[in-house]
Copies of this chain bind each other. A is one copy, B any other.
Amino acid sequence: MQTATLRAATAPIRIVPRQALAEAPAPTATITTLCSTCHLKDLCLPCGLTGTDVQRLDGLKFARRRIKEGQALYHEGEKFQFIYAVRSGTFKSHLTLKDGREQVTGFQMAGELLGLDGLASGQLASSAIALEDAEICAIPYAHLSELAASSTDLQHVISRLMSREIVREHSLMMLLGSMNAEERLAAFLLNISQRLKARGYSASEFHLRMSRAEIGSYLGMKLETVSRTFSAFQHQRLLDVDKKHVRIVDLEGLQRAFDLRVH
0/1 string, A148-171, CB within 8 A of B gives 1: 110010011011101111110111
Given contacts A169-B169, A169-B173, contact A262 B118 (CB under 8 A): no
- The quantity of this chain's copies bound in the complex is 2
- Whether B116 pairs with A176 at a CB distance below 8 angstroms is no
What bracket does the count of chain A residues touching chain B fall in? Answer: 35 or more
- Whether A120 pairs with B178 at a CB distance below 8 angstroms is no
- How far in angstroms is the closest Cβ of chain B from A111? 16
Which among A11-19, A94-102, A203-211, A239-247 touches the partner chain? A94-102
Contacts of A177 in B (CB 8 A): 103, 176, 217-220
Q: Which secondary structure dominates chain A's binding surface?
A: helix
- Residues of chain A at the chain B interface (Cβ within 8 Å): 76, 95-99, 101, 103, 105, 116-121, 125-126, 145-146, 148-149, 152, 155-156, 158-160, 162-167, 169-174, 176-178, 217-220, 259-263
